[in-house]
Amino acid sequence: MVHVLVACQVLLATVFVVSAYAKLRSRAALRSFAATLGALPGPIRLPVALATAVVEVVAAAGLAVLPWAGLAAGGGLLVAFSAWIAFSLRGGRREPCRCFGASVTPLGPVHLVRNGLLLLVVGVGTVALAFIGGPVTGAGLALAVPAGLVGAVLLIAFDDLAGLFLPVSGST
């Protein structure tokens, strides 16, 4: 189970670091993300965007040093993100998802599915942590780390991958 936990930690930490980097890489990127928070009053969008990126960094760091805290913070973030997406969709707002940088993909159910998969990883990591036993082995790490990285890449690119298989609205 220890290697399952490592794979979950790597996957989640990678997703949160890439997401935070996409927001913090420049002032323009942070403002672009803040602009997607249209349901919030204008003056608090930028501070909320910055706080979001900071909490993503904290969750990633927690996954590395305090797995319980990192899993809890990551799970909390994902629940909050999912609630925001559902709230936005219910209100008819479909701003592009700027979770991982510039994107033209409007918010939609696919983002809830992605967050659901990430929450599943949080759950698996939590179970693995609860039943942790045995030492970390080199061979186990050689499988767990790449598995976590591949999972992260797939979830980061989830919008694009879903676009390959889902019909595009408005097309004939």
Q: How many domains does the chain have?
A: 1
Collect all residues with Cβ–Cβ distance below 8 Å to 62 and sequence separation of at least 6: 69, 70, 71, 72, 73, 74
Is 49 within the bounds of a domain?
A: yes
Is 164 within the bounds of a domain?
A: no
Is 170 within the bounds of a domain?
A: no
Is 60 within the bounds of a domain?
A: yes
Please give the helix or strand (H or E) that residue 9 lies within, else none. Answer: helix 2-24
pLDDT of residue 171: 42
The three state secondary structure string of 122-160 is: HHHHHHHHHCCCCCCCHHHHHHHHHHHHHHHHHHHCHHH
pLDDT of residue 95: 77
Is 52 within the bounds of a domain?
A: yes
SS3 call for 106: strand
pLDDT of residue 168: 58
Is 8 within the bounds of a domain?
A: yes
pLDDT of residue 146: 95
> Which range of residues forms the domain containing residue 87?
2-158
pLDDT of residue 116: 96
Mean pLDDT by 10 residues, the chain (172 residues): 94 96 92 86 93 95 95 95 90 77 77 95 95 85 95 90 70 40
Is 136 within the bounds of a domain?
A: yes
Is 25 within the bounds of a domain?
A: yes
Global confidence as pTM: 0.89
